[in-house]
Amino acid sequence: MSFAFADATCTDFVKELASNAPVPGGGGASALVAALGTALGNMVGSLTVGKKKYADVEEEIIALKAKCDALQKELLEQIAADAKGFEPLSRAYGIPKDDPNRDQVLENATIVACEVPMRIMELCCESLDAIAVFAAKGSRLAVSDAGCGAVCVKAALQAASLNVFINTKTLKDRALADAMNNKCFAMLDKYCPMADQIFETVKAGFFK
């Protein structure tokens, strides 16, 4: 993993993403998109704090902004974490097929590869909870950014789920695979409609 994720420019990251390098991939891209979406919601908070019109919600918005600061940081950390989590699986694929340990090494590595995209999904859910509040209570002058944030984070949530599903499909432990899949389905079933509702509510506000 030679690519310096923390120091990469947007241009470098996109170029690396488009290359034949195994990482970054869908997981890292999901984390970045989620961080951007969270930041868009957070921007609404920044534009709300200090405005007399929103004094009654200022304390709540300040607390929410702090939460989103932490979410943004952790989501960005998941870009490198996802690459690191994929390394064991990448190596396992290179084990000779006649090696008696190959199946167990692959199984263990596949489970590890699921962990980061699952965490990205969890962070996306937390982000959407925050964006819903920014959209409902934040500055009306910036509400479009809350809608944009919801759209971005929903996309990241869905994209991260695919990075779980491609791995759970190959697990020999089907009980564990089902448990992971069901956890993903629960997040998708709750938060995709929430993101859609934020978008539709924000959009409808422009045509009243």
pLDDT at 8: 87
Cβ count near 6 (within 10 Å): 8
Q: Residue 87 class from Cβ within 10 Å (0-12 exposed, 13-18 middle, 19+ buried)?
A: middle
Interatomic CA distance for residues 155 and 153, integer angstroms: 5
pLDDT at 5: 76
Give the residue-averaged pLDDT of 111-117.
97
Q: What is the DSSP letter of 19?
A: S
Instruction: Report residue 3's pLDDT band, with 50, 70 and 90 as the boundaries.
Output: low
Instruction: Report residue 54's pLDDT band, with 50, 70 and 90 as the boundaries.
Output: very high
pLDDT, tens digit, for every residue of 145-204? Answer: 999 999 999 999 999 999 999 999 999 999 999 999 999 999 999 999 999 999 999 999
Interatomic CA distance for residues 129 and 111, integer angstroms: 28
Residue type at position 38 = T
Give the residue-averaged pLDDT of 104-120.
97
Interatomic CA distance for residues 82 and 159, integer angstroms: 13
Calculate the CA 3 to chain-centre distance.
20
Q: What is the DSSP letter of 66?
A: H
Does residue 40 contact residue 145 with C-beta atoms inside 8 Å?
yes
Interatomic CA distance for residues 110 and 173, integer angstroms: 11
Domains of the chain, start order: 26-205 (1.20.120.680)
Interatomic CA distance for residues 22 and 105, integer angstroms: 19
pLDDT, tens digit, for every residue of 7-49? Answer: 889 999 999 999 998 889 999 999 999 999 999 999 999 999 9
